[in-house]
Chains A and B, each alone.
Chain A
Amino acid sequence: MIGLLVDPFGLPFMARALAQAVLLGVLGGTVGVLVLLRRLAFVTDALTHTVFPGVVVGFIVAGSGGVLWGALVAGLASAALFTLVARHRRVTEDASLAILLTGFFAVGVILVSRRRAYTSDLTAFLFGRILATDAGQVAATTAVLVAVVATLVALRKELLLRAFDPVGAAAMGYRVGRLDLAVNLLVALVVVAGVRAVGTVLVIALLVVPAAAARLVTDRLGALVVLAPAFGALGGWLGLAASFEASVGYGVRLASGATVVLVLVGIYLAALLAGRALPALRGWLR
C-alpha cells in the first residue's frame, strides 16, 4: 500500500510533478483560507478564466516559455479590473464578474481557434500538463509560495480585520480598496502558478476545496491555516499516485490534474462526514 504511494515518484518526471502538485496544494490551501473568509469563490473562478487569453497570447508570442508571463499580465490586469468593477448598483457585482469572465475567456477561445491545432491546444491550456513539469516551473512555484506566505504574514492583521469588519476597517482609516486589490493579486498569482500544471479551469479547485474541507472540521482560524494547506498537499500527492496507478497498473488513463481535483473533493466529503461525527463522538464521551 505504501509502495503505491511512494514508488511512482522514483521516476524523475513524476518526482517533479509531485513537487509541483504538493507546492500548489500548499499554496492553494493557504490563499484558499482567505478566499473562504472573504467569500471570493466567484472572483477566483473569474480570475481562472480571465487568465486564459493571457496564456494563449503568451504561447503565441513566445512559445511555452511565454505562458507564465502572459498569464501573469492577464491575471494582474484582471485582478485590478475586478477591484474597480461593480461600483454601479444597477448591475450587481456578480453579473459584472460573469460578463468580464466570459468575455476574457471568449477572447482566448477566439485566439486559439485561429490556430491549426485548435482542439489539442485548447485542451492543454484548459486542463494543463502536470506530468510535463520542468525544474524551472517548480522553482517558480516555490518563489510564488515564498512571496505569498510573506505577504500574508505581513498583512495578516489588516486582512483579517477587513474580512470580518470592513466598515470598521474603513472607519479606522485602512485603505480597504487597496487591501482588496492585494487579495485579488494574491489569488491571481496562485492561478498563474497553477495554470501550466492543472490548467485554467481546475485551479479554482485548489483555491476553494481544501479550505472549504478544513472549515468543515474546525471553527478556529489557527487550525484552518494549518489544515487547509495540508489537505491541499495531500490531495496533490494522492491524486498523482492514483492517476499513475490507474494508467500503469490498470490501463485506465485518468487525466492527472482532474484526478487531483477529484481526490480533493473526496477529502471534502470525508471532512463532511468527520464534521458530523466529531461532535457526536464528543457528546458520547462526555
Chain B
Amino acid sequence: MNFWSQALVEAALVGGLCGAVGVHVVLRRLSFFTMAMTHATFPGIVLAALLGVNLYLGGGAFGVLVVLAVAWLANRRGAEATSSVGVVLSAGFALGVVMLSARAGFSRDLSAFLVGSILTVSGADVRVAAAACLVALVTLAALGKELVFGAFDRQGMIAHGYRVLALDLVLLVLVELTVVTAVPAVGTILAVALLVAPAATARLWCGGVAGMTAVAVPVGVATAVVGVLVSEAAGVAAGATVVLVGCVVFAVSLLVAPHGPLRSARSARRRTGRPAPAGGRLAGSLAGYRYRHDGEET
C-alpha cells in the first residue's frame, strides 16, 4: 500500500470506530470527560516518545491513570465532578508541555501529537486501528444491551444486581482505546470531535440506539475519508479538516434532520396548533436553556 491509500484506510477505520463508540459517549454525556481523557493522553504519548516506548501503550496507560484520578478526586468532600475533570485536564496537559519543553528541539512532533498527521501513519498504525475496531465491535456486540441499560437507568441496573462500576470501567477503557487509536489521525485536541460529532448527528436523524449506531458508523467513516480528501485538495491540515467536515455535517443535520430543532419545532406546531414561543425561537432557546443548565454533571 502506498501512503495515500494507507491514510484513507486509517481514516475509514478510525472514523468507524469513533462513530460506534461515540454513540455511548453522547448517550451518557461523557463529552467533557472524553475531552479530559484526550488532553491527559498527551503527556503519556510524550513520555512514551521520550522513553522510546510504544506510543499507544504509553498513551493508553496514562489515560487509565486519568480515569482513576478523576474518579478519586470527584469523590472527595467538597469536590464536584466537573471541576475535578478540569483540574485533571489542565494538569495532564501542562505536564506534557513541560516534559516536551525540557527536551529541546521537539516542536515538530509536538504539533503532530496535538493535531494529528494522518498522511504519515505507518502500516503498524493501520493494524492497531483495525485491531481496536475489532475489540470495540466485540465489546459492543457482547455488552451493548447492558451499556444502554446503564446509560438510561442506572438505579434500575443497580437494583437488578448488575456490576455497574465494572461496566462503567469497561466503557471508559473502550473510550480511552478509541482516543489513543484516533491520536495519530486527528491528534489529542481534536479526537473528541470525531467521537461526538457523528453520534450527535445520528441522534438527529433517528431514534433508538441500534439506529443511531447504524447511522453514526457510516457518518464517521464518510467524515474521516471526505475530510482527508478535502484537505489534500485544499492543501490544509488533515486532522482539522476532518473535524470541520464532521461539524458541517452536524450543522446541516440541525437544519434538515427529522429530529433537528427546526423540523421538530415545526411539526410540533402542526400537531398542537399552537404558535412558536413568544418572542420567537431565540427567546424559546433561552427559556429551555436555563432549566437544563444546572444539575447536569459530566
- CB contact between B87 and one of A93, A101, A177, A209 (< 8 Å): that residue: A209
List the 7 shortest-distance A-B pairs measured between CB atoms, nearest first.
A177-B286, A102-B193, A205-B90, A103-B247, A261-B94, A208-B86, A113-B237
| Contacts A/B (CB < 8 Å), 17 sampled | A36-B83, A38-B293, A92-B26, A94-B32, A94-B298, A99-B197, A100-B247, A102-B190, A102-B243, A103-B193, A109-B190, A109-B240, A112-B237, A114-B235, A258-B94, A261-B90, A268-B87
Interface positions, chain B 271-298, Cβ under 8 Å from A, are 282, 284-294, 296-298
Which residues of the other chain, A, contact B80 by a CB distance below 8 angstroms?
A: 39
Q: Chain A residues near B98 (CB, 8 Å)?
A: 254-255, 258-259, 262
List A227-286 residues whose CB lies under 8 Å from chain B. 252-255, 257-259, 261-262, 264-265, 268, 272, 275
B93 with A122: CB separation less than 8 A: no
Stretch at the interface among B51-59, B60-68, B109-117, B166-174: B109-117
A93, A98, A100, A122: the one contacting B111 at CB < 8 Å is: A122
Which residues of B sit under 8 angstroms from A219, Cβ to Cβ?
78
Number of B residues with CB within 8 Å of any CB on chain A: 78
Contact A91 B203 (CB under 8 A): yes
Q: Taking the complex as formed, is A225 at the interface, i.e. its CB lies under 8 A from any CB of chain B?
A: no
Chain A residues with CB under 8 Å of chain B are 35-36, 38-42, 44-45, 49, 83-84, 86-103, 105-110, 112-114, 118-120, 122-123, 126-127, 166-167, 170, 176-177, 180, 201-202, 204-205, 208-209, 211-212, 215-216, 219, 252-255, 257-259, 261-262, 264-265, 268, 272, 275
Q: Is B200 an interface residue (CB 8 A)?
A: yes
Is B76's CB under 8 angstroms from A272's CB? Answer: yes
Chain A residues within 8 Å of B111, by CB: 118-119, 122-123
Q: Which residues of A contact B243 (CB under 8 A)?
A: 102-103, 105-106
Name the residue in A93, A94, A176 with the highest tally of chain B Cβ atoms < 10 Å from its Cβ.
A94
Instruction: Classify the secondary structure of B's interface with A.
Output: helix
List of B residues within 8 angstroms of A96 by Cβ:
200
Q: Which residues of A contact B190 (CB under 8 A)?
A: 102, 105-106, 109
